[in-house]
């Protein structure tokens, strides 16, 4: 399985410098095509597997999620399903916004600020990325180029979210 690595992404709007992860046109095409396939069906039910994997590898992280503290982490938990829907809406927004990556970065930066307020350690962003790739691959059986394209997109999301957390 391809995993998320720290690719040294930097930012744009707030003047941070660093090695910028760029998406190629081929990356964008692979991401859009695979996302369209992923959305064919029940995104929430397929997306649940992202968090099943996340909590399987990081059970201690449940303390940061109200739905995990208040009930079982399964498809019958409406708060869990709502959270998964919100997360995959953000992923979909990132996919839809690849033509305006600056806007995607701003949204992810704000996501980091919010997660800092929730007390979530930044280390979980990498794990969530790996879990996202797992969920996508579980349904779609991604080829290596498509996995790498998703890793690059998620690296941008992760980098900006961590910058938001650091600034909060």
Just give the CATH number of 25-167. Answer: 1.10.490.10
Cα(55)–Cα(68) distance, integer angstroms: 9
Q: What does the pLDDT look like over 29-78, one tens digit per residue?
A: 999 999 999 999 999 999 999 999 999 999 999 999 988 877 689 999 99
Predicted model pTM: 0.86
Yes or no: say if 58 and 124 are a contact pair by the CB < 8 Å rule: yes
Give residue-wise pLDDT tens across range 117-151.
999 999 999 999 999 999 999 999 999 999 999 99
Domain boundaries, the chain: 25-167
Whether the pLDDT of residue 14 is over 50: the answer is no
For residues 96 and 89, give the distance between their C-alpha atoms in angstroms, rounded to a whole number.
10
Residue 113 · residue 164 · CB < 8 Å: yes
């Amino acid at each position: 399985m391809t995993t998320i690595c720290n690719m040294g992404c930097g930012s744009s709007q707030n003047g941070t410098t660093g090695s910028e992860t760029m998406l190629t046109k081929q990356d964008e095409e692979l991401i859009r095509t695979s996302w369209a396939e992923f959305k064919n069906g029940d995104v929430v039910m397929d997306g649940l597997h992202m968090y099943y994997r996340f909590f399987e590898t990081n059970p201690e992280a449940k303390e940061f999620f109200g739905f995990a503290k208040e009930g079982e982490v399964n498809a019958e938990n409406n708060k869990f399903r709502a959270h998964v829907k919100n997360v995959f809406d953000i992923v979909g927004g990132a996919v839809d916004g690849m033509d305006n990556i600056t806007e995607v970065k701003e949204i992810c930066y704000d996501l980091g600020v919010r997660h800092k307020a929730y007390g979530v350690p930044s280390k979980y962003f990498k794990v969530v990325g790996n879990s996202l790739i797992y969920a996508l691959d579980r349904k779609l059986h991604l080829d290596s180029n498509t996995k790498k394209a998703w890793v690059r997109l998620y690296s941008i999301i992760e980098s900006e979210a961590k910058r938001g957390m650091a600034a909060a």
